Amino acid sequence: MKTALIILAAGKGTRMNSDLPKVLHPIAGAPMLHHAMRAGAVLDPAHTVVVAGYGAEAVAASVRGVDPTAQVVIQNEQLGTAHAAAQAREALAGFDGLAIVLFGDTPFVSPSTLEALAGSAADVTVLGFEAADPARYGRLVMNGDQLERIVEFKDATEAERAITLCNSGVLAAPAPLLFDLIDAVGNDNAQNEYYLTDLPRLARARGLSVAVERCAEAETLGINSRAELAAADAQFQATARADLMESGVTLVAPDTVYLSLDTVVGRDALIEPHVVFGPGVTVESGATIRAFSHLEGCHVSRGAIVGPYARLRPGTELAEDVRIGNFVELKNATLAPGAKVNHLSYVGDASIGEASNIGAGTITCNYDGVMKHRTEIGARAFIGSNTMLVAPVSIGDEAMTGSGSVITSDVEDGALAIARAPQVEKPGMARKLFEMLKAKKARQSRGS
């Protein structure tokens, strides 16, 4: 059956104490809304509809960044979850497949759970979980394998409060049935709002089947505060680290490695302590990322070694067996196989050829205050320490620059370029200068 996702993302999140819509607060380098969308993508949905409200423009822009085909609809008044889901009616007009209602602030429902939910044969299926501490969750009241109703904690009897099977809020039903049931939901409650929790009772009253698909409690974690956001990030990190190690990646000190939602690391890669992976990083098999390095928007090929204390910024591409050492920063730079930038250098908007060596203190001067310019370095070139390469500039194959040079013109293949002022020596001048300075300091001390 074809599926559609309805993701509820209209809330402000008052407890976050933030101008940012709650669903845009990041977990593992990506808005929590993206986590929900990514999980739902496993179903290859025919439609994805995100219901926005507070900060709708920002939410819509974020949605388009993940899925340009997704539709964003607006809930102008927040009148409950059933009212929110109803805003997707027009977007799903004529769609007769299965609609799954997700929550943008419940980011950890797994793809396998959604597949199981989509595979249910019941008319309505609710996602539930066995809670270690049911607390104030809504309880799922079962009659055999059928869900009779959802009862909120405040309305539950003592017997119902003893139930540990709880409601996640996620549910699935054929789209026409979903909206038909929503039409029957009333707002006779203290909040005068319309809730999806009424749907199982309404469906059973019509003689329809209502099932419960169970998942792990950790998948249902909802986020309403900064503390819960931090706990969610920690949960993601623990799971992602375990998955990497299970797949054959060595994490020397797992608890110190920070991963993003889309981090990809190949087997037999080695990750040393205190490495941060920002969004958009791929590290191939057999690469090594040494301690205290920060990577974002880059690709590291097999056999490459990065760090310690290296920073790889967006647009960086490292080929096989590249060496990047301590206190090196790369940005929008492509390094061919065997190239080396071993220490204390900045290489931005540049390409470095095969087996070239970049000496300590080298800087590609890529920005003139208005425009960015590129530096091109050929194969097997040697850039002497403390060279300033003033872009746009090109260094040929097997060329060399003298240490301390400021290179402003292209260097042809095989040439040595030296661009520094002649050394001038003045005998005895150092002693005289020191004596003058010491006398000046003494006069200032007496005056004070």
Q: What is the dihedral of CA 68, 69, 72, 73, to 10 degrees?
A: 160
- Please calculate the CA angle 178-180-193 and round it to the nearest 5 degrees: 80
Alpha carbon distance 425, 403 (integer Å): 19
Burial class (CB in 10 A: 0-12, 13-18, 19+), 28: buried
Alpha carbon distance 368, 180 (integer Å): 62
The one-character DSSP state at 367 is B
Instruction: Give me the catalytic one of 25, 83, 299, 343.
Output: 343
Paired sense of beta strands 47-52 and 124-130, if any: unpaired
Alpha carbon distance 60, 177 (integer Å): 27
Those residues whose C-beta lies under 8 Å from the C-beta of residue 102, and which sit 6 or more positions away, are 5, 6, 7, 8, 36, 39, 40, 109, 170
Tokens, residue 147: 């869900």
343 catalytically annotated:
yes
241 sits in which H/E element = helix 226-246
CA 317 and chain centroid, separation: 19
127 close to 215: Cβ distance less than 8 angstroms = yes
Bridge partner residues of 251 (DSSP): 271
Rg (CA), the chain: 30
Give strand ranges (E) for 266-392: 270-271, 276-277, 282-283, 288-289, 294-295, 298-300, 305-306, 311-312, 316-318, 323-335, 340-352, 357-358, 363-365, 375-377, 382-383, 388-390
Alpha carbon distance 361, 403 (integer Å): 10
- Please calculate the CA angle 321-325-331 and round it to the nearest 5 degrees: 85
Tokens, residue 393: 């500039």
The one-character DSSP state at 372 is B
Identify the CA nearest to 167 among candidates 198, 122, 188: 198
Burial class (CB in 10 A: 0-12, 13-18, 19+), 371: exposed
* Catalytically active residues, by annotation: 343
